[in-house]
Structure 1
């Protein structure tokens, strides 16, 4: 069995890189959605949501970097073109969203899609004994579940 420099099965590490590139692509679309929401939100919730969307896109930017660096650690190459991102994206694209409820709903739906991908990667990384990826996915999942709960409370 061939192993990577960090001791993982080479084929499993390659497969994880592919999965993480799917997550990276979806995070990039999510990030762009958040930028658009931050810029375009209107109405009585403007001040509250303008700041919240900035908080979310700043956090997403950090996660994007972590995902790309994990792909590199596994020996892969992070995707970096919009065409690649569009091809792999499952996160809904929000264009010209100005309404508060529509914007928050877009974030909830996007996070739900990211969670599906992350849970799949969590299983895959567990099977590969890849604690680095496993830990990152666990952290992302716990944080995003709480964010969904909070946003759903806001929507109520």
Structure 2
């Protein structure tokens, strides 16, 4: 077994970087969805949701950068074209969504998919003692679980 300069199994670290690229593609679609609903939201809840969606896309933008930098840290190359993102992503694409409940449901659906991907990465990063990726995924998961709970509460639903 060959270790990289971080003390991680080189092959497993590269595999993890590929998994992070999958997460990156999905986060980029999620980010763009948030921009779209921020721009297009209409109705009586406009003021509250417009601000909330901006908060979420600002946070997603930071996470995108963190994911890309972690990919680089592990020796990979981050995906960086919309073509790559759309081929790789699983999160739903929201187009021309202006209705409040549809917008919030898109966020819940997207975060649910991101959480599934992050949990898979968390398992793999734990297996190879990659504490950097592990900590990042743990932070993402706890924040996103809270957001899902809040969005579901807004929809009048339970988790």
The two structures have a TM-score, normalised by structure 1, of 0.99
Note the 1:21-100 alignment, pairs <5 A: 21-100=21-100
Deviation of residue 4 (structure 1)?
1.0
Q: Structure 2: where are the runs of 5+ without partners?
A: none
CA separation in 2, counterparts of 1:82 and 1:153?
A: 33
Query: Runs ≥4 in structure 1, deviation > 4 angstroms?
Result: none
Q: Equivalent residue for 1:7?
A: 7
CA separation in 2, counterparts of 1:130 and 1:57?
A: 27
Q: CA RMSD in A?
A: 0.4
Report SS of the residue matched to 1:33: helix
CA separation in 2, counterparts of 1:87 and 1:20?
A: 15
Q: Structure 1: where are the runs of 5+ without partners?
A: none
CA separation in 1, counterparts of 2:83 and 2:13?
A: 24
Report SS of the residue matched to 1:24: helix
Number of residue pairs matched by the alignment:
156
Report SS of the residue matched to 1:95: coil
